[in-house]
Amino acid sequence: MSDPQKKIRSEIGNPVSGDDFWPRPDVVGPLFDALVNDKGSRRLFGLRRIGKTSVVLELERRLRARADLTVIHIDVQGVSRFKDFLNKLFEQIPAETRLQQTQKKIATNAALQSILPALVARLTGSAATQAQSTFHNEFEHKAVWSGDIEAALEEAGPIVLIIDELPFMLRNMMRDGYKPFDAERFLATLRSWRMNSGVRMLLSGSIGLAQLERLDGVAVADHIGDLYPVSLPPLPRAQAIELVEALALGEEVDDWTIALSEAIVDASAELWPIFLQYGFNDVSRSRERDPSKVKAIVEAQVRQALDENFYKQFSTRLSRYGNDEKSVRAILKTIVAADPEPVTFVAIDEALTKLNAGERRDDLLEALREDDFISFNTGSQTLRAASKLVPLWVRARAWGR
């Protein structure tokens, strides 16, 4: 159980950390342990608005409290050039002694001097030189993305590198003239940094890497096998009630009762914090204090707008499966038909075999997990919907009935 006297403020639309962050020990704790104790890098992909950014910020806050780590957090959603990624990376290596060590490794590298003049100037204290136009693609110059870079990262370590929205960056790169092979080399570079330079990584974002393979022809599987997948599930009911109670304390609603908190939780389509915050805000503003009337308020003022936002995300993600869309629909219909019970991999195999798509099972299940459609248990060989929203959305589609 959480602290019954915990107070949090309502921060809809803004990621939070520190006192206003609702504890997620089931997610933040294992991530912190893995990255601090070098137990392997992680990837956290999922729907928008479920609290990923808040989780990442809270994790970063805890990591930065460790004097033995260099923590670098880069949002690369708007980045389209590898050299800009490198600039962002090295700008955040803070300790002067480490910068001096880094300087020795990369400041005399001819390729880097040509491609990253501003960075080299910062490290050496010299004036920036004009970038040479002959370097059209940094990946054609091995010295830029391995060798000296790897040695510099190892010298500056141990580093925890948090990269937000990497799939967006890779898609931006290809729109900017890079090829799928370049994106693969970039993913291989990150893997090499993890393996050879000891860089511990968390990749997070609202779209997964599996989409790159379907939409852009980027072979990702060989480069992310060491990245353990992490999901951000909805809160259990008891914790969800505690969160609403904490909101009532933080917002100083004097006439609040636990029965109202329970009613909001039971009326919400799902129990990610954003659903609970919207419900709390609308009920508290309404001045309605009869728990039996809360459901109508939540359905009228919260669910119609918020549920539809998530349904649009599902529809957009489904549309990106291309030739696999029919097979994905069959998987989802099989899962929803058994909901709330899990289904076996055998049942999924049977559904896909009817479509001559049995060999696609593993790839599709991994993609569906990244897209927050499903969760699965490899030990019991079963899977289920990732949230209560998925069956609601499927049953509302013509193809899902």
- pLDDT at position 112, please? 65
Q: Is the pLDDT of residue 251 over 80?
A: yes
- pLDDT at position 123, please? 62
Level-2 CATH architecture, domain 27-230: 3-Layer(aba) Sandwich (3.40)
Give tens-digit pLDDT for 83-118: 888 888 877 876 565 656 666 666 666 666 666 666
Give tens-digit pLDDT for 18-71: 888 999 999 999 999 999 999 999 999 999 999 999 999 999 999 999 999 999
- pLDDT at position 128, please? 57
Q: Is the pLDDT of residue 199 over 90?
A: yes
Report strand pairing: 228-230 vs 200-205.
unpaired
Looking at the chain, the whole-number percentage of residues with pLDDT higher than 70 is 86
Q: Is the pLDDT of residue 207 over 90?
A: no
What does pTM read for this prediction? 0.89
- pLDDT at position 135, please? 43
Parse the chain into domains and list their residue ranges.
Answer: 27-230, 237-310, 321-400
Whole-number average pLDDT of the chain: 87
Give tens-digit pLDDT for 336-373: 999 999 999 999 999 999 999 999 999 999 999 999 99
- pLDDT at position 133, please? 46
Q: Is the pLDDT of residue 122 over 70?
A: no
Q: Is the pLDDT of residue 161 over 50?
A: yes
Q: How far is CA 310 from CA 39, 297, 337, in A?
A: 33, 19, 21
Mean pLDDT of 122-136: 56
Give tens-digit pLDDT for 8-22: 988 887 888 888 899
Q: How far is CA 363 from CA 92, 186, 337, in A?
A: 36, 21, 22
Confidence of residue 119 (pLDDT cuts 50, 70, 90): low
Least confident stretch, 97-111, 126-140, 262-276 = 126-140
CATH code of domain 321-400: 1.10.10
Q: Rounded distance, CA 248 to CA 117, Å?
A: 53
